[in-house]
Amino acid sequence: MTTALEKLSAVARDPRGYVEDWRMRHPGRLVLGVLPMNFPRELALAAGTLPVVVQDDQKPVTEGRSLLAEFYCGYTRNLADQAATGRFDLYDAVLMADHCIQLIGAADVVRAILPGTPVFFGMLNSSMNDSWGPARVVAMMGEFRTELERLTGEPVTGKALSDAIAVHNRDRRMVRRLFDDRAAGSAVLSPVQLQDIVTSAMIMDPAEHAGLLAEALAGASAARGGATAAPPDHRVRVHLSGHLCHAPRRELLEVIEASGAVVVDDDLYHGRRHVSTDVEEDGDPLEAVARWYQQRNVNIPCPTRVQQDADWDSWLLDAVRRSGAEAVIHLLPKFCEPHMLYYPELRKALEAAGIPQLQIETEHEGIPLESFRTRIEALVERAHRTRAVPA
């Protein structure tokens, strides 16, 4: 019998299967492809659609090679490839809120080669200290709502939006609890399992996701005989940092833990970053969604935003202290410019704090796992040497 956790993993690994099943259960309703990382799924859910964060499906880039330059990041080239080879037929429309120039390039390809698929780009103000920023963001959230109403032909009511916010918050809280437990030392799920849980949350109806997750957690607790804490783990505790927009390869996460490290926290988009912030449930729901966008860059600063009073580097140091991580592994997707720009600031801060670190540059096609294993093992050795000698 398939467990709830296995069902979530299955969705993460086969979004198409879930979407096709959802369509059968919801005839006539739209499925929207949503590009990362800041589009508010709540609005699309309130419109009666299924918003699916388009995943890197990890297939080799073929047709897409003739649509975007090879020095675009793997995720955006994969998006172009998905569009060029018919895999975007999953979506009735595409919505985007972020103005990463590579993401825009990919969306432009989708728009050009799939003229029958609406591609709506609502640019959220990314300079977070602009005094006019909050009002602009509220206005853009309103434009998203209008576009959704145009797509569905139905109004998006305040009540529907409030309900969508509540159900998303519930799901986020459940997932976030898993990350908090892991950081506190009571992790029972592997990094791959956690990643699958987050990925499935990006794809599924949040109520369905929360239901399956509750079932999965109850099952896991029963399997442990009710014990809440994981057995002591003497491996080196590491924090995974970076990897915006798309998920790192599962085999890389497995190699990290097979090299003498245990992942205790992260700021990955397919990790804690995605569930970092709830939307306020009182007041005007549209304004609450706008504030959510502002607040999540405070809760976990993102290098794609510019905010002088929110520092990813100091946030990372605090996170490392909270979780007791002994080392940081930066997972940097090749050609990711925001991460490349910010990385020296992270490196400086960790170096000053004496925290061992390793940068791993990931690529869409072919990752040199054995080379990574050697480097991770070296990091683990270094972290072991810096451990305090027991008295």
Partner 1 sequence: MTQTAERHDRSNRLSVTRAGGQLVADYWDNLFAAREAGKQIVWYNGGALNPIFQAAGLAWCHGEAFAARLAAQRLEGPAQLAGAEYGYNAELCSYSRTHLGCSVLTLQGASLQSGEGEHTGVVGVADQRELASRLPSPDFFVNNYAGCSTGQQWDGISYRVFGKQLPIFNISHPFLWGNKPDAGYLTGEEWEEASGFVEGQLRELIAWLETQTGRPFDWDALSQSMDYIKRAAELRREGLDLCKAKPAPATFWDWIACVAPINFLPGDQALVDYFAGVRDEIKQRLDAGVPGVQGERYRLYFDGIMNWNKLGFLSRKFAEHGAAVLAGRYIHNAFWQEPHLIDVENPLRGMAQHYLLCPTNHGSRTLDYLTLRDCREYDVDGIVFHSTRTCRAFTGPQRLLARSALNTLGIPAIFFEGDVADASFYKEEILESRLVAMLEQIDMRRQRGEHTGALGALGPARS
Binding site for partner 1 (CB under 8 A): 66-69, 71-72, 99-102, 104-105, 108-109, 111-112, 120-123, 125-127, 129-133, 136, 147, 303-304, 306-308, 311, 332, 334-335, 337-338, 340-345, 347-348, 361
Closest to partner 1 by CB, 25 or 348: 348
Full DSSP string of 46-93: HTT-EEEEPP---PPPSGGGGTS-TTS-HHHHHHHHHHHTTGGGG-SE
Q: Which is nearer to partner 1, 28 or 71 (CB)?
A: 71
CB of 14 or CB of 351, closer to partner 1 = 351
Nearer to partner 1 among residue 15 and residue 301 (C-beta): 301
Q: Which of 150, 168, 201, 159 is nearest to 30 (CA)?
A: 150
Q: In this structure, how many other beta carbons lie within 10 angstroms of the beta carbon of residue 388?
A: 5
| Measured distance CA(292)–CA(298) in Å, rounded | 10
Backbone angles phi, psi at 53, to 5 degrees: -70, 120
> 81: closest CA among 102, 104, 109?
109
d(CA 239, CA 265): 5
Phi and psi torsions of 164, nearest 5°: -65, -40
Report residue 314 CA to chain centroid gap. Answer: 21
* Residue 213: CB minimum distance to partner 1, A: 34
CA-to-CA distance for 30 and 154, rounded, in angstroms?
Answer: 12
DSSP 100-121: -HHHHHHHHHHHHH-TTS-EEE
Q: Give yes or no for a contact between 137 and 128, defined as CB atoms under 8 angstroms apart.
A: no
* Shortest CB 76 distance to partner 1, Å: 9
Cβ atoms of residues 343 and 313 within 8 Å: no
Report in angstroms how near the CB of residue 115 gets to partner 1 at its nearest.
Answer: 10
111 or 235: CB nearest partner 1: 111
In the complex with partner 1, the residue whose CB is nearer, 40 or 122, is: 122
Q: Which two tokens stand for residue 130?
A: 């602009």
Q: Which is nearer to partner 1, 18 or 315 (CB)?
A: 315
CB 138 within 8 A of CB 127: no
Closest by CA to 294, choosing from 307, 303, 308, 281, is 307
Comparing CB distances to partner 1, the nearer of 66 and 371 is: 66
Longest dimension (CA), the chain: 70
Which tokens belong to 116? 């029958």
For the bound state, the minimum distance from the C-beta of residue 100 to partner 1, rounded and expressed in Å, comes to 5
Minimum CB distance to partner 1 smaller for 212 or for 302: 302
> Under a CB-based contact definition with an 8 Å cutoff, are residues 325 and 350 in contact?
no
CB of residue 181 vs partner 1: minimum separation in angstroms?
Answer: 33
Minimal distance, residue 178 CB to partner 1, in Å: 31
- For residue 37, the minimal CB distance to partner 1 (Å) is 12
Other residues' Cβ atoms within 10 Å of the Cβ of residue 357: 22
- To the nearest whole angstrom, how small is the minimum distance from the Cβ of residue 152 to partner 1? 17
* Residue with smaller CB distance to partner 1, 119 or 247: 119
CB of residue 335 to partner 1, shortest distance in Å? 6
Q: What is the dihedral of CA 164, 19, 331, 291, to 10 degrees?
A: -20
Single-letter amino acid code for the residue at 140: M
Min separation Cβ 356 and partner 1, Å: 16
Q: Which of 186, 199, 161, 190 is nearest to 275 (CA)?
A: 199
